[in-house]
Amino acid sequence: MTEKRQSHHMVAVRVNEQMGTKRKYSIIHKASNPRILLLWIMLMLIISAQIYDHMDDEHKERRKEVLVSMCDQRARMLQDQFSVSVNHVHALAILVSTFHYLKHPSAIDQQTFAEYTARTAFERPLMSGVAYAERVVNSERDEFEKEHGWTIRTMERETSPIKDEYAPVIFSQETVSYIESLDMMSGEEDGENILRARATGKAVLTSPFRLLGSHHLGVVLTFPVYKSNLPPNPTVKDRIEATAGYLGGAFDVESFVENLLGQLAGNQAIVVTVYDITNSSDPLIMYGHQSQEGDMLLTHVSRLDFGDPFRKHEMMCRYLQKAPPSWTALTTAFFVFVIGFLIGYMIYGAAIHIVKVEDDFHKMQELKVRAEAADVAKSQFLATVSHEIRTPMNGILGMLALLLDTELSSPQRDYAQTAQACGKSLITLINEVLDRAKIEAGKLELEAVPFDLRSILDDVLSLFSEKSRNKGIELAVFVSDEVPEIVIGDPGRFRQVITNLVGNSVKFTERGHIFVQVHLAEQAKAVMDVRTETCLNGVSENIVQSSGHQFHTLSGCQAADDRNSSDTFKYLIADDDLRYNAAIRAMNDNTHQNVTLMVCVEDTGIGIPEHAQKRVFMPFMQADSSTSRNYGGTGIGLSISKCLVELMGGHINFISHLHVGSTFSFTVDFRRWEKNAVGDFKKSVSDDLPMAFKGLKAIVVDGKPVRAAVTKYHLKRLGIRVEAVSSVRTAISISDNYGSLVSKNERLPDVILVEKDSWISCKDDSFNLALSDWRQNGQSYKLPKMILLATNITSSELDKAKAVDFADTVIMKPLRASMVAACLQQALGMGRKTQQNVCKSTFLHSLLCSKKILVVDDNIVNRRVAAGALKKFGADVVCAKSGEEALKWLELPHSFDACFMDIQMPEMDGFEATRRIRQMESNANEQMNGGCTIRGTAGNGVWHMPILAMTADVIHATSDKCLKCGMDGYVSKPFEEENLYQAVAKFFESKPVSDSLQDTEIRQTELL
Amino acid sequence: MLGFGAERLRAYMNRLLALLFHQGVLDEQFLQLQQLQDESSPNFVSEVVNIYFHESEKLLRNLRGLLLDREFSDFKKMGSHLNQFMGSSSSIGAQRVRNVCVAFRAASEQSNRAGCMRALELLECEYCYLKNKLHELFQIEQQRILAAAVRYPPVQHPINNP
């Protein structure tokens, strides 16, 4: 129950842990929410829009920069070109001043001027033409008109009215020859220009107006020409007075700019407009249109300086086409969005997947918990069932014990003992079933106790002897001499593995033999090596051997693993060199105290089909489905065996041929038993084989060497010297030899064991003859006993055997040392002595004899039974039926040696009674501290009577309570000899050994 | 019956014992009891068993009286009776009676009167069966002793005769 609660607790803890992990994964849970995905997508949209904006801005900025640079470039070019033209006009003005006024007579006339200007027109590409107007004061007009032969006219080509002064054109380029004789002062712009020009002495420009000839927009440039050199820093008056005339030129701005832009064409389509902004509130267009075409959003204005400080000009540029949408920005933003979206979606998908997997994981965990619970339930079921089986088994065992108490003949006793041993094995097997659950849980712990390997093997053999006998299979065991007698390991597990393997073999074998061998692993390996070598060297021999009629195995049937055939076996048992080596190796091994054994179980059964061999060690897998139908079983045994063998530090494997047989072999590691500490323990570990046969001599007659070796092995264990011969005749001749050698103190064989086959094979009467012959000859000395060994024997054969003087005994196989011993005892007429059991009860008898014991129990039946049991061992019993009565009896001084006290009694229970008794005793002890000798105690002057509790339930808690109350021990209520013995021995051990005990010891030594 | 040989009676007795063991009526404690019987106390088993019968009948009477009482409430007393019964039953190895006692005691500890009634009936039934069988056993035993006293010539087995 507590365990269960614990497991619940464990589950709870685990769930808590899961909660913890859940918290850890909460981010992922959030990520799986579609709203989060939507949010993410929105975020990505915003980000991509911002990226677009940013890139677009950059693009615009770049566009603007381009526009600015283009505009500035154009403005600069225009300005440069303009100033070049102005400079040239300036040069012309100087030319006129130089050659017209400083020379007398003038070097320039109209023709010269026209030609010169025409030839230098390329210098002034922007000017439609230049002309020179002379300053004429009104007083000089007439003279001037006369001189030139024409009158001064106004711009309207009419004769000029009278003014203070005039500026008629006297020289003009051919392109503008139509303005000759026109008074420039009469034109509004021109006049103003002239006045400004002579005042400043610099080039001045008019505001734009339609030119006379071309009707293009244009400006007029005017330079003053002075008669004489001006003084430095001249005043305006000085300038006006010195003025001789004006040189003017018309700039055709429209065609000029057109021309200029034409040079730069092909770059970008931009709209250029040039304004005169002298009057800033009303800019005048010099070039371009007022129309709103082009990109109105982006304009750039560049300042122009045409060299006239009075007039201000500017150039305005803008793109002809609107800014195209920025494709790179658009695509970049789009891709960013797409990538962001994909990333978001991927995270979302992954999160959903993770959540799903997590859910599955939780589900699985829950299932796992349930499966574990089911496993616990299964283990409980196993425990219950095996407990239920144990109960009837106890009945069986009890009956067998009853049977063994009766007078039985030797074979009967053996059968009954076998049955009892089998029953006990069955109970251990049931316990082993319980262990299986432990193996599966990995909780199995191996014991490390010393045990006798050979007796374990004998036990296993006895378990299957009945079955094998019924089937007519030979079952044999052989343990190599090199294997230590006692090893430290887990006998239960070792036995379980062997039992399983032998059980399988018995199950699947119908004829032939089952042979269990135990060797040292090194020894076996060395032999295998030798064997392989010989195999390699002599393949042909092997073939001959296998094609032969008989195989050199135990029963003559072929075995799967021919390494175990007699050749190898001979190596194993007979090769002295090898044995020597093995012994040396064993010595070396001694240093590290480990011994590795190799156990082979060979059978001649149906074998395992090739395809099934792989899954032999898998649980619940049998060779095929029909196997369990034909042979039963669950197929779990081998898997358990494998687990166990691996736990014991070994390996298991097998060789199998269909219809030939299987050989399972495994290795196990045991520790060596310290030789010097053998002492008493050895006796308790090994089943005591009677040693009465020590020194006897026997001859084994057997045609098959392997089988003979097995017989020899068992006899050797009994201390009998054995010689094996192959036929009866040889045996007899040897005996005869001995007969003749009697004088030499050679011992005659005491027993001759004849294998049934060997006996049957000499069908002729030679056997009988030889025997009778021998009998007659050998009158003088004791005849050896004849014993027949048989696996199975028919009654007719038995009669026949009796007839030919096998009267002594027939030993049924499989051989076991103890059984052989029992049979030999009967045959040799040695008295059968029940040793140990008798010893123990006599010992108990000696302990309790004439002791005065008080039995306290309220239950009359129990009282009677306890009294009977104690009386049987010679005790003097007094009964008391309650605690009070017991106290009365035990009033000091009394003569009781011990008290058996029931615990559960009405009124005063055992604990209370004991407490009072102890109190009485301590009071008495205090009083008599003097030193009187007191009877009925251990003799050291203190009252202390041993009180033993009688309890029905021997639980630890109860026993502890018993000891606490001052009791000295406890016995389980229905008295058992063993239990009683153990409890009582503690108190009476120190007493002097009685005569009867000494008797027992003497008897024991006699037995040895 | 008197004509049977001692051996046959012995075999019959063993069979009967085996049956009782198989049914779980008896357990190993009975064997222990038998082992206590020897020359010094030849009637030990029957003596003990008779005491057991005597005691048990008294206890059964008491139990029935207790349960039939209308104003019954003394489950404690009943428990002590049952403890007695259980102890003596386990002493002679009457396993099934003992098991019923355990169930009975459990019912009485829970003050389950109906359960106690059922258990009492079952207990009486088991007790009756045990008593009959043990009487039969003792009868055979007596006959065997009688038969053993009569000397027949020993039966010779063919195998023993060469």
- pLDDT 10s digits, A885-901: 888 888 877 788 888 88
Q: Which amino acid is at A16?
A: N
The rounded distance, in Å, linking the Cα atoms of A103 and A95 is: 11
List the single residue in A395, A406, A858 with the smallest CB-CB distance to B27: A395
- H or E element, residue A117: helix A110-119
- Alpha carbon of B131: minimum distance to chain A alpha carbons (Å): 15
Percent pLDDT > 90 in chain A is: 5
Task: Reply yes or no on whether the pLDDT at A783 is more than 60.
Answer: yes
Which is more confident, A566 or A53? A53
A225 DSSP β-pair partners: A245
Band of the pLDDT at A359, cuts 50, 70, 90? very high
Q: Do B48 and A952 touch (CB under 8 A)?
A: no
Residue A472 above 50 pLDDT?
yes
Cα of first residue to Cα of last residue in chain B, in angstroms, is: 33
Among A228-232, A785-789, A920-924, A962-966, which range has the highest average pLDDT?
A920-924
**Contact residues, A window 683-742, toward B, CB-based 8 Å cutoff:** none
What pLDDT shows up at residue A552? 63
Confidence class of residue A364 from pLDDT cuts 50, 70 and 90?
A: very high
Q: Report chain B residues whose CB lies below 8 A from the CB of A397.
A: 28
Sole residue written with tokens 């030990």: B44
* pLDDT at A768 > cutoff 70: no
Q: Which chain A residues in 975-994 lie under 8 Å from chain B, judged by CB atoms? A: 975-976
> Which residues of A fall within a CB distance of 8 Å from B22?
392, 395
Does position A797 have pLDDT exceeding 50, yes or no?
Answer: yes
Q: What is the pLDDT of residue A23?
A: 53
Alpha-helical segments (H) within A172-317: 188-200, 236-242, 253-263
Q: Is the pLDDT of residue A180 over 50?
A: yes
Q: Which helix (H) or strand (E) holds B136?
A: helix B113-149
Distance CA A829, CA A181 (A): 185
- Does the structure show a pLDDT above 80 at A174? yes
Question: Counting beta carbons within 10 angstroms of the beta carbon of residue A476, is it exposed (0 to 12), middle (13 to 18) or buried (19 or more)?
Answer: buried
Comparing CA positions, the residue from A170, A212, A164 lying closest to residue A187 is: A212
- What chain A residue is nearest to B29 in terms of C-alpha separation? A974
pLDDT interval class at A42 (50, 70, 90): very high
Q: Lowest-confidence range among A51-55, A287-291, A483-487?
A: A287-291
3-state class percentages of chain A: helix first, strand second, coil last, to nearest 5: 55, 15, 30
Q: What mean pLDDT, rounded, does chain A reach?
A: 74
A353-367, A412-426, A628-642, range with greatest mean pLDDT:
A353-367
Q: Is the pLDDT of residue A807 over 70?
A: no
Check B36 against A872: CB less than 8 A apart.
yes
Q: Does A862 touch chain B (CB under 8 A)?
A: yes
- Contact of A412 with chain B, judged by CB distance below 8 Å, is answered with no
| HSE, side-chain direction, 13 A CA sphere, residue A185 | 21
Residue A17 has pLDDT above 80, yes or no: no
Give how far B66 is from chain A: nearest CA, Å.
18
Q: At residue A113, does pLDDT exceed 50?
A: yes
Interface test with A, best of B62, B88, B99 (most A CBs within 10 A): B88
Under 8 Å CB-to-CB from A132, ≥6 apart: which residues? Answer: A92, A96, A100, A113, A169, A170, A171, A172, A225, A245, A246, A247, A248
Question: Which has the minimum average pLDDT: A855-859, B32-36, B128-132?
Answer: B32-36
Q: Is A181 left (phi over 0), alpha (psi -120 to 50) or beta?
A: left
Of the candidates A405, A859, A976, the beta carbon closest to that of B88 is on A859
A928 — pLDDT class (breaks 50, 70, 90): confident
* Alpha carbons A242 and A248: distance in angstroms, whole number: 18
A363 touches chain B (CB under 8 A): no
Instruction: Single out the residue of A304, A363, A405 nearest to residue A80, CA to CA.
Output: A304
pLDDT digits (tens, 9 = 90+) for A709-743: 888 888 888 888 888 887 777 776 766 665 554 44
Higher pLDDT, A31 or A1: A31
Looking at the predicted structure, is the pLDDT value of residue A306 above 70? yes
Q: What is the pLDDT of residues A514-551, one digit of tens each?
A: 889 888 887 777 766 655 554 444 433 333 333 334 56
Beta-carbon separation of A865 and B48 below 8 A: yes
- Our CA-based measurement puts residue B8 at a distance from the nearest CA of chain A, in whole angstroms, of 14
Residue A340 has a pLDDT of 92
Nearest-CA distance A474 → chain B (Å): 25
Distance, CA of A423 to CA of A427 (rounded, Å): 6
Q: What is the pLDDT of residue A708?
A: 83
Is residue A941 scored above 80 in pLDDT? no
Q: Is the pLDDT of residue A832 over 50?
A: no
Looking at beta carbons, which residues of chain A come within 8 Å of B83?
Answer: 904
pLDDT in the model for residue A997: 38
Give the minimum alpha-carbon distance from B71 to chain A in angstroms, rounded to a whole number: 24
Q: Is the pLDDT of residue A676 over 60?
A: no
- Read off the pLDDT of each residue in A468-489 and give the average, rounded to a whole number: 85
Q: How far apart are CA B157 and CA A357, in angstroms?
A: 82
Residue B28 forms contact with A (CB below 8 Å): yes
Mean pLDDT value across residues A259-277: 73
Query: Could B47 and A864 be called an inter-chain contact, meaning their C-beta atoms sit closer than 8 Å?
Result: yes
Residues of A in contact with B88 (CB under 8 A): 859-862
| CB contact (8 A) between residue B32 and residue A868 | no
How much is the average pLDDT of A552-568?
61
Q: Which residue has the higher pLDDT, A1004 or A453?
A: A453
Q: Do B14 and A858 touch (CB under 8 A)?
A: no
Distance from CA of A490 to the nearest CA of B (A): 30
> Is A401 in contact with B31 (Cβ distance < 8 A)?
yes
Q: Are A941 and A931 in contact (CB under 8 A)?
A: yes
Distance (Å) from the C-alpha of residue B21 to the closest C-alpha of chain A? Answer: 5
Confidence at residue A830, expressed as pLDDT on a 0 to 100 scale: 56
Handedness of CA B107, B113, B114, B117 (dihedral sign): positive
* The pairing of beta strand A852-856 with beta strand A876-880: parallel
Q: What tokens does A609 get?
A: 């089909």
Nearest to B21 among A395, A869, A902 (CB): A395
At residue A365, the pLDDT reads 95
What digits encode the pLDDT tens for the residues B79-105? Answer: 888 888 888 888 888 888 888 888 888
A278: closest CA among A191, A341, A223, A204? A204
* pLDDT reported for residue A829: 63
Q: Which of B17, B29, B86 has its CB closest to that of A402?
A: B17
Task: Tell the burial category of A236 from Cβ atoms under 10 Å away from its Cβ (0-12, 13-18, 19+).
Answer: exposed
What pLDDT shows up at residue A46? 94
Q: Is the pLDDT of residue A466 over 70?
A: yes
Q: What is the ipTM of this complex?
A: 0.76
- The share of chain A scoring above pLDDT 70, in percent, equals 71
Residues of chain B with Cβ-Cβ distance to A398 below 8 Å are 21, 27-28, 31
For residue A675, pLDDT over 80 is answered with no
Q: Are A106 and A148 in contact (CB under 8 A)?
A: no
Q: Is the pLDDT of residue A65 over 50?
A: yes
Indicate the residue type of A830: M
pLDDT(A464) > 50: yes
| A655 class by beta-carbon count within 10 Å (0-12 exposed, 13-18 middle, 19+ buried) | buried
Using a CB-CB cut-off of 8 Å, the residues of chain B touching A392 are 22, 24
pLDDT at A837 over 50: no
Asked if A996 contacts A873 with a C-beta cutoff of 8 angstroms, the reply is no
| Lowest-pLDDT range of A363-367, A440-444, A954-958 | A954-958
Closest approach of chain A CAs to the CA of B4, in angstroms? 19
Contacts for B118 with CB less than 8 Å, ≥ 6 apart? B107
Q: Which of A226, A132, A244, A224 is nearest to A179 (CA)?
A: A132
Q: How far apart are the first and last CA of chain A?
A: 53
For A974, the closest of B17, B29, B41 (CB atoms) is B29
Task: List, in order, residues 6 or more apart from A770 with CB less than 8 Å away.
Answer: A728, A729, A732
Contact B55 A864 (CB under 8 A): no
Is pTM beyond 0.90 here?
Answer: no
B127 has a pLDDT exceeding 80: yes
Q: Which of B19, B28, B43, B92 to mutate to test the interface with A (most CBs of A within 10 A)?
A: B28
Mean pLDDT (whole number) for A916-925: 84
The closest alpha carbon to A814, from A710, A700, A689, belongs to A710
What does the alpha-carbon distance between residue A721 and residue A698 come to, in Å, rounded to a whole number? 6
Secondary element (H or E) of residue A221? strand A217-226
Q: Which of A399, A864, A869 is the closest to B51 by Cβ?
A: A864
pLDDT-derived band at A403 (thresholds 50, 70, 90) equals confident
Each residue of A973-998: pLDDT tens digit? 666 666 677 777 766 654 433 333 33
Q: Which of A1005, A994, A962, A812 lies closest to A410 in space, CA to CA?
A: A812
A689 pLDDT band (50/70/90 cuts)? low
- The predicted model gives A613-620 an average pLDDT of 73
| A417 alpha carbon, distance to own chain's centre | 52
Check CB contact of A277 with chain B, cutoff 8 Å: no
